[in-house]
Amino acid sequence: MGLVGLRCRECGKAFPVSPVYACDECLGPLEAVYDHAGVDPAALRARIEAGPRSIWRYADLLPAPHDPEADLQAGFTPLLHARRLGEALGLPRLYIKNDALNPTWSFKDRVVSVAISAARRFGFEVVACASTGNLANSVAAHAARAGMEAYVFIPAGLERAKVVTSAIYHPTVVEVEGTYDDVNRLCAQIADEYRWAFVNVNLRPFYSEGAKTLGFEVAEQLGWRLPDHVVVPIASGNLLVKIARGFDELARLGLVERRPVRVSGAQPSGCNPVARAFRAGQAYVDPVRPQTIAKSLAIGNPADGKYVLEVVRATGGAVEEATDQEIVEAIGLLARTEGIFTETAGGTTIAVLRRLVQQGVVRPDETVVAYITGMGLKTPEAAEEASAAPVRIPASLRAFEADVLSGRRADAAQRAPSLITR
């Protein structure tokens, strides 16, 4: 039971469990293969429910063993019924999966936790990644925890906060002059020559599986039930594909009742190769040169674009895009309706959700889950425009009454007078 091997996603050729990522026949990507024959669903469910409050409660369904020495307890983040945002959008059963609440404040901790465990199992001493920022944060932190040497490669010009939040763990931060796609290509070339564990290159078959836990958790938190529709941000596309895979695995194992889950994807207009391919009816994604404030989604050549298109089309979802302006507005909307401060990727998800509701793709009768994958403090620049300006006053009651009370929101001011009369 558990992981039994790897398989080429294109030609199906089988490989033993090892740190290989490309097929030697067709050069296609590899994925994990499990054998869950004879698993008792009730016993598995009980094991999960008794497990740690982290992704490792799903260890039976992951491709690496739990490694407490390298574990920062990623996952098991809140699923919130978003009543006020739902009201604003016309969705009474809207839920937010707040995955900003992870050890390094993005969903990357899930995939990195799995990858680091695999890296240690394979005896790697150096761990590395190509990153738009969040992944670098997570790799640097997990490497520190595990006592491994870390190299994180990022495009030069990232948000300052996203550099500091890697550098503090003392990896070697390599700023590459170019886009994320340049960084990614360079890392593929380095991984080809040196025995380093690049979590999202040569360990990708393991790493990518960690994203399934965002499907598992939502189902468990809904009371072992699948939602009707999920909206997921797209960078490489792996997250979206693996959330759908997570739902499918639970149904195949008998942990939830099988029902169709529509899967929709969100991209910024400044990096929209999958949205464009979706609209054009193409089976493949043509690369673009990104130009967007949503830097964590700025992958012009998304590795899993083709698989995203397959999942979205098969489930009756859509891939939609949002402009930089809409993204900033949506960051503000989520913050002031639900008290959740997300980064630009989360703004993209909410902005696209809004468009999909307007288009009638996401419907009011559906149980909808929007995935918020990163936190706002990492991209404060993007949030400033959507923020309320402070009201500065002298320390006097008169100034408070003149400048603060007079500016109360209209809806609040309509309520009964709030002066205390005793």
Partner 1 sequence: MAVTVRIPQLLRNLTNGEREVQVEAATLREAIEALDARYPGLRQRLLDGQGELLRYVNLFVNDQDARLLSGLDTPLPQGAEVAIVPAMAGGC
134 is a site residue for partner 1 (CB under 8 A):
yes
Span near partner 1 by CB under 8 A; candidates 18-26, 60-68, 119-127, 245-253: 18-26
Q: Is 54 exposed, middle or buried (0-12, 13-18, 19+ CB in 10 A)?
A: buried
Q: How far apart, in whole angstroms, are the C-alpha atoms of residue 108 and residue 130?
A: 12
10 is a site residue for partner 1 (CB under 8 A):
yes
105 is a site residue for partner 1 (CB under 8 A):
no
Q: How far apart, in whole angstroms, are the C-alpha atoms of residue 404 and residue 393?
A: 8
DSSP-assigned letters across all residues of 346-362:
HHHHHHHHHHHHHTTSS
24 is a site residue for partner 1 (CB under 8 A):
yes
362 is a site residue for partner 1 (CB under 8 A):
no
156 is a site residue for partner 1 (CB under 8 A):
no
b (16+ CB within 10 A) / e for 358-391: eeebbeeebbbbbbbbbbbebbeebbeebeeeee
131 is a site residue for partner 1 (CB under 8 A):
yes
26 is a site residue for partner 1 (CB under 8 A):
yes
Span near partner 1 by CB under 8 A; candidates 188-196, 247-255, 324-332, 353-361: 188-196
Enumerate residues 197-216 that contact partner 1 by CB under 8 A: 200-201, 204
86 is a site residue for partner 1 (CB under 8 A):
no
**Torsion sign over Cα 364, 368, 374, 376:** positive
Q: How far is the CB of 282 from partner 1 (least distance, A)?
A: 12
Q: How far apart, in whole angstroms, are the C-alpha atoms of residue 183 and residue 189?
A: 10
Hey, what are 21's tokens?
């990522």
Q: What is the DSSP letter of 322?
A: E
Span near partner 1 by CB under 8 A; candidates 179-187, 252-260, 263-271, 395-403: 179-187
Q: How far is the CB of 367 from partner 1 (least distance, A)?
A: 27
Q: Indicate the SS3 state at residue 271.
A: helix
Q: How far is the CB of 156 from partner 1 (least distance, A)?
A: 15
Q: Which residue lies nearer to partner 1 by CB, 86 or 210?
A: 210
- What does the per-residue mask of binding to partner 1 show for 275-294, with x meaning CB under 8 A? ---------x-xx-x-----
257 is a site residue for partner 1 (CB under 8 A):
no
**Torsion sign over Cα 320, 323, 326, 327:** positive
295 is a site residue for partner 1 (CB under 8 A):
no
Q: Where are the beta strands (DSSP E) in 281-392?
A: 319-322, 368-372
AA identity, residue 413? A
108 is a site residue for partner 1 (CB under 8 A):
yes
306 is a site residue for partner 1 (CB under 8 A):
yes
21 is a site residue for partner 1 (CB under 8 A):
yes
Q: How far apart, in whole angstroms, are the C-alpha atoms of residue 386 and residue 390?
A: 13
Q: How far apart, in whole angstroms, are the C-alpha atoms of residue 91 and residue 84?
A: 9
Enumerate residues 402-421 that contact partner 1 by CB under 8 A: none
Strand 2-8 to strand 197-198: parallel, antiparallel, or no bridges (unpaired)? unpaired
Assess contact for 214 and 374: CB atoms under 8 A. Answer: no
Q: How far is the CB of 299 from partner 1 (least distance, A)?
A: 5
319: how many CB neighbours lie within 10 A of its CB? 28
Q: Which residue lies nearer to partner 1 by CB, 337 or 373?
A: 373
Residues that bind partner 1 (CB under 8 A): 10, 21-24, 26-30, 108, 130-132, 134-135, 178, 181-182, 184-185, 187-189, 192-193, 200-201, 204, 235-239, 284, 286-287, 289, 296, 299, 301-304, 306
